[in-house]
């Protein structure tokens, strides 16, 4: 039975879409300003840019919560269940509901404070000086705590999580981390007993940036990254960003001239995000349906290309000779290279962590964030708490705060609640990759030839094109055949690292 | 006698300034988007960017013309004559008055149409295909004609001029061009009779971009361009842009690997604009007082550094050895180099024209634009009209439309009325430079040592810092001691080229 939609409701719906398109344009403009701030903006621009971003955030917020928007949402009727329009209305109503609880002043303040905090964070990290950043961390955290106070949540941290993974909760994540901890900690212990010489030697040497960049570009071109709808620049903290649709999806990376893995895996990771954004149905552009559905699903795409693809044997059987073309000094033995990119080695920096210890870095952050939101931990005590947890979970204490509590940009930009998305992403990446290979077994042999078209096609069809249409859990169930589940991920880690380290 | 200002008026004035600051932020955001579009944006971004710019233009317009802004303007009282606040109110009321006559729909349409037209123009120029660009030219022109219809003007073209040089008019410019034509055309004729071999040979050869860029950076660093508040990138059409204040003022340039003068003089030209913007009183940031007062005065700064400085003997006595350090094949004879950068040579491209024929390129554009606004000339007939006037004034017919009617970006971005600013700028540049040297005679000897601090200081004090506070004519009279006047400029041209070409 078709839903009866009056002419008035249709007109309201059309006006609503116009209004949402304008709001989307303002957010996109803010994204361009954020991209520029992190890539090319000179130092003198910091303060002005913070004001510009604050004004755009306030304007978008005011348009979203205005009585006119509320009336259009109320008057737009109901759409055919399951249709794009129904999903659009559901998302718009949710966003409107959430935003309506927040004062415009708080939104603008948060935007301004995070823009300034990010500039100071870059500086503080350079100098490894926590005291420079601490007052900005205090400010940002207090604004985000205030935000949590305005929003509903069983736990104050739930409101942070909800922004990045609708439907998630502190309780649910605690459950997930308990399962992972139970599986990963003993595995790390077993592997550590087998670790002999440093397996990462093949990745160390002298690698000029131009060569690294060209190799990275080749790799992600073969993945299917479309350069006519994107570009790659340098940034202190690599990221992927899009401007309202699949037409302009950019990535950034950074280089270590003495360690090959840094730029290569950052590039593959960000390209994974970008492939998702480039694959969203273009008709969703400038609507609430545009973009990836949650950061958890987003990280499933980045981690899939970074780990399941670029840290696999089939990948290296194709790219090893190409890497040697670029850097002839690279080791001749492809198996040694495969072992190098998968070496388990407790490390200070999350983005450089191996797959096995990676989630312990996230666990640490998750626990610290929960403690900050429970007001169980003061900002002043963060470096010490960080180092204590690093020692407990990863077995090392960072040499300084640049290698510790200051390493990530997330807190500076107010992204509390984001980190768990990486672990959710790891879990989902294995479910999705295995579903893809099960349904399209030619994916693995194609990877050996440096071809990724079938894999990308499957992801486009089952994940990317849907944008935000389905709730994250629904999307995963539709694509992978079952809801999010840690078992396949733990099985994958056990099998892969058991074989790599000769465990029984 | 101090003006009596009520508390209510003060509160209105404060609220007005907040509102104007937000409007300024939106315009600044649009400028960042425009900068990106012209430097780094991938092809896939064209349509989305046009929508974003249209939305920002419409939002800024709506805020400016809203009843709330009108009430604040009415209720802000009068400020102390001559004060910054009085100037701010005068400018805000003028902008409000102008904007209030234009429908928001027209503003958004113009923004969208010009963003699309610019992308097509780049493509059309590449292919030298007028037919690709013509429909966009029609569209933009028709929107600008519609705009002229909403605004007051004795002549429809006056409303275009007014945007770039408040107080200017078609009639006044006709007078100026008549004076210049009477002085320049016979001079060009005399020089042409003396032109022997091609004097530009010393500028031709092979010059790698890296070396050209480094030399250009050295030159404008010595001018005083502050890199911590700006940066230089590449663009099809060089430009200078700022984002609401002196903290982030960027320039772009382009390179010809076989002709030294292209990048060097474009760089000096854009740096001249940038020195102006970087020198505006920082307290004017995010107010209507920020930025250069008119494009005519702006071009006086760009043309001053490009011509009066970088095409002078003192400049080259310092920079000739430095250029030879960068490019050892450059001619050893500094006088030959000086003659090369001042060679009079009818050329197709305005930005590469010598000082003597430059204004004839502008005259041509002025006459065509007037004809377009008088509806005496159809867009379809532009290429032919262009070529006919080129033959008449400059003595050559462009080999193709890329070298002719398609060479400039101005029409694509809707900048009808801008071109005369270049000639106004030439006229003013000589008045200002002569006033500076008269009052600070050490400027010339300093230039011989590659020092420009006194010149910049004089310009900062007498022009830059004032931003938009004074009307253009007032500013010039205060700085140069008399109103805009073509006589010093014509005398300068006569003396300089008389000496260079041995005229009686």
Q: What is the 3-state secondary structure (H, E, C) of B316-368?
A: HHHHHHHHHHHCCCCCCCHHHHHHHHCCCCCCCCHHHCCHHHHHHHHHHHHHH
Rounded distance, CA A48 to CA A54, Å? 10
CA-angle at A372, arms to A368 and A375, nearest 5°: 135
- Residue B453, pLDDT above cutoff 90: yes
In Å, what is the CA distance from B64 to each residue of A57, B34, B56, B101, B180? 18, 21, 12, 11, 39
Cβ contact, residue pair A246, B44, below 8 Å: yes
Residue B307 DSSP one-character state? I
- Residue B435, pLDDT above cutoff 90: yes
Q: Choose among A146, A174, A43: nearest CA to A414.
A: A146
Rounded distance, CA B390 to CA A302, Å? 57
Cβ contact, residue pair A40, B248, below 8 Å: no
Residues B408 and B361: beta-carbon distance below 8 Å: no
Cβ contact, residue pair B25, A286, below 8 Å: no
- Residue A177 half-sphere exposure toward CB, CA atoms < 13 A: 22
**Nearest residue in A to B52, CA atom:** A25
Question: Which residues in chain A have their CB less than 8 angstroms from residue B47's CB?
Answer: 247
Residues B12 and A45: beta-carbon distance below 8 Å: no
Distance from CA of A105 to the nearest CA of B (A): 13
Question: Which residues in chain A have their CB less than 8 angstroms from residue B59's CB?
Answer: 22, 26, 59
Q: Give the per-residue pLDDT at A152.
A: 80
Question: Which residues in chain B have their CB less than 8 angstroms from residue A240's CB?
Answer: none
Q: In B, what residues contact A, Cβ < 8 A?
A: 21-22, 25-26, 28-30, 32-33, 35-36, 40-49, 51-52, 54-56, 58-59, 226-231, 233, 243-248, 250, 285-286
Residues A346 and A396: beta-carbon distance below 8 Å: yes
Q: Write the Ramachandran bin of A397: left for phi over 0, alpha for psi from -120 to 50, otherwise beta.
A: beta
Number of residues assigned to chain B: 504
Distance from CA of B22 to the nearest CA of A (A): 6
Rounded distance, CA B499 to CA B504, Å? 9
Rounded distance, CA A320 to CA A334, Å? 6
Q: Give the per-residue pLDDT at B299.
A: 97
Cβ contact, residue pair B285, A245, below 8 Å: no
Q: Where are the alpha helices (DSSP H) in B377-419?
A: 382-393
Give A391's contacts (C-beta < 8 A, 6+ positions apart).
A397
Q: Model confidence over B258-280: pLDDT tens digits?
A: 999 999 999 999 999 999 999 99
CA-angle at B303, arms to B487 and B219, nearest 5°: 140
- Give residue for tokens 């780990």: A307
**pTM for this predicted structure:** 0.94
**Nearest residue in A to B30, CA atom:** A29
Q: Model confidence over B72-117: pLDDT tens digits?
A: 999 998 899 999 999 999 999 999 999 999 999 999 999 999 989 9
Cβ contact, residue pair B248, A44, below 8 Å: yes
Q: Choose among B449, B419, B447: nearest CA to B433.
A: B447
B27 falls in which pLDDT band (50, 70, 90)? very high
Q: Give the per-residue pLDDT at A1.
A: 42
- Give residue for tokens 């579009």: B37
Coil vs helix vs strand at B204:
strand
Distance from CA of B279 to the nearest CA of A (A): 13
H helix or E strand, kind and range, residue B213: helix B209-223
Q: Model confidence over B294-321: pLDDT tens digits?
A: 999 999 999 999 999 999 999 999 999 9
Distance from CA of A502 to the nearest CA of B (A): 48
Mutate to test the interface with A, among B123, B248, B280 (most CBs of A within 10 A): B248
Q: Model confidence over B336-367: pLDDT tens digits?
A: 999 999 999 889 999 889 999 999 999 999 99
Nearest to B43 among A228, A243, A250 (CB): A228
Active-site residue flag, A270? yes
Question: Which residues in chain B have their CB less than 8 angstroms from residue A19's CB?
Answer: none
Longest pairwise C-alpha distance within chain B: 73
Catalytic entry in B109, B118, B147, B270: B270
Cβ contact, residue pair A32, B36, below 8 Å: yes
CB atoms within 10 A of CB A203: 20
Cα torsion A248, B252, B274, B453: sign: positive
- Residue B204, pLDDT above cutoff 80: yes
Distance from CA of B52 to the nearest CA of A (A): 5
Cβ contact, residue pair A36, B41, below 8 Å: no
Q: Give the per-residue pLDDT at A157.
A: 96
Pairing of strands A249-253, A240-242: antiparallel
In Å, what is the CA distance from A376 to each residue of A143, A150, A379, B61? 17, 20, 10, 48
Coil vs helix vs strand at B116:
helix
Nearest to A48 among B44, B233, B247 (CB): B247
Catalytic entry in A270, A306, A352, A369: A270
Mean pLDDT of chain B: 95
B4 falls in which pLDDT band (50, 70, 90)? low
In Å, what is the CA distance from B62 to each residue of B98, B100, B439? 13, 9, 46
- Give residue for tokens 């060679």: B343
Q: Give the per-residue pLDDT at B328.
A: 96
In tens digits, chain A (504 residues) has pLDDT values of 445 567 888 999 999 999 999 999 999 999 999 999 999 999 999 999 999 999 999 999 999 999 999 999 999 998 999 999 999 999 999 999 999 999 999 999 999 999 899 999 999 999 999 999 999 999 999 999 999 999 988 899 999 998 888 888 999 999 999 999 999 999 999 998 887 788 999 999 999 999 999 999 999 999 999 999 999 999 988 999 999 899 999 999 999 999 999 999 999 999 999 999 999 999 999 999 999 999 999 999 999 999 999 999 999 999 999 999 999 999 999 999 999 999 998 899 998 899 999 999 999 999 999 999 999 999 999 999 999 999 999 889 999 999 999 999 999 999 999 999 999 999 999 999 999 999 999 999 999 999 999 999 999 999 999 999 999 999 999 999 999 999 999 999 999 999 999 997
Mutate to test the interface with A, among B38, B42, B66 (most CBs of A within 10 A): B42
CB atoms within 10 A of CB B486: 23
């Amino acid at each position: 039975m078709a839903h009866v939609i009056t002419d008035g409701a249709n007109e309201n719906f059309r006006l609503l879409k116009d209004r949402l398109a304008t709001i989307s344009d303002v957010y996109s403009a803010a994204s361009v300003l954020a991209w520029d701030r992190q890539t090319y903006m000179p130092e003198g621009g910091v303060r002005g840019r913070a004001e510009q971003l604050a004004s755009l955030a306030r304007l978008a917020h005011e348009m979203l919560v205005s009585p006119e928007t509320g009336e259009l949402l109320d008057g737009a009727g109901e759409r055919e269940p399951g249709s794009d329009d129904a999903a659009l209305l559901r998302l718009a109503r949710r966003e409107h509901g959430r935003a309506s609880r927040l004062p415009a002043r708080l939104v603008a303040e948060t935007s301004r404070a995070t823009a300034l905090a990010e500039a100071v964070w870059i500086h503080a990290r350079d100098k490894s000086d926590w005291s420079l950043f601490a007052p900005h961390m205090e400010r940002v955290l207090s604004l985000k705590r205030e935000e949590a106070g305005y929003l509903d949540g069983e736990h104050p941290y739930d409101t942070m999580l909800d922004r990045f993974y609708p439907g998630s909760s502190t309780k649910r994540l605690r459950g997930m981390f308990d399962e992972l901890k139970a599986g990963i900690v003993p595995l790390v212990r077993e592997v550590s007993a087998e670790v002999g010489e440093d397996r990462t030697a093949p990745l160390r040497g002298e690698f000029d940036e131009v060569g690294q960049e060209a190799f990275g570009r080749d790799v992600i071109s073969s993945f299917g990254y479309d350069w006519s709808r994107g570009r790659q620049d340098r940034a202190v903290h690599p990221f992927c960003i899009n401007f309202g649709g699949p037409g302009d999806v950019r990535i950034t990376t950074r280089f270590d001239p003495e360690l090959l893995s840094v730029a290569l895996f950052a590039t593959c990771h960000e390209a994974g995000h970008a492939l998702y954004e480039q694959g969203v149905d273009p008709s969703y552009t400038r609507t609430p349906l545009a973009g990836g559905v949650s950061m958890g699903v987003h990280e499933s795409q980045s981690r899939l290309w970074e780990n399941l693809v670029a840290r696999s044997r089939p990948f290296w059987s194709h790219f090893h000779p190409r890497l040697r073309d670029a850097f002839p000094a690279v080791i001749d033995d492809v198996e040694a290279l495969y072992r190098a990119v998968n070496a388990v080695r407790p490390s200070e920096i999350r983005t450089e962590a191996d797959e096995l210890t990676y989630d312990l870095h996230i666990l640490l952050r998750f626990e610290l964030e929960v403690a900050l939101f429970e007001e169980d931990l003061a900002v002043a005590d963060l470096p010490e708490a960080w180092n204590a947890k690093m020692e407990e979970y990863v077995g090392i204490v960072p040499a300084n705060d640049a290698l510790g509590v200051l390493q990530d940009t997330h807190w500076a930009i107010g992204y509390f609640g984001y980190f768990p998305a990486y672990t959710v992403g790891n879990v989902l990446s294995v479910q999705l990759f295995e579903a893809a290979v099960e349904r399209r077994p030619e994916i693995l042999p194609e990877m050996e030839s440096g071809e990724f078209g079938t894999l990308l096609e499957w992801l486009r069809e089952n994940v990317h094109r849907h944008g935000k249409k389905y709730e994250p859990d629904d999307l995963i169930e539709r694509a992978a055949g079952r809801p999010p589940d840690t078992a396949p991920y733990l099985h994958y880690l056990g099998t892969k690292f058991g074989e790599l380290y000769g465990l029984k």
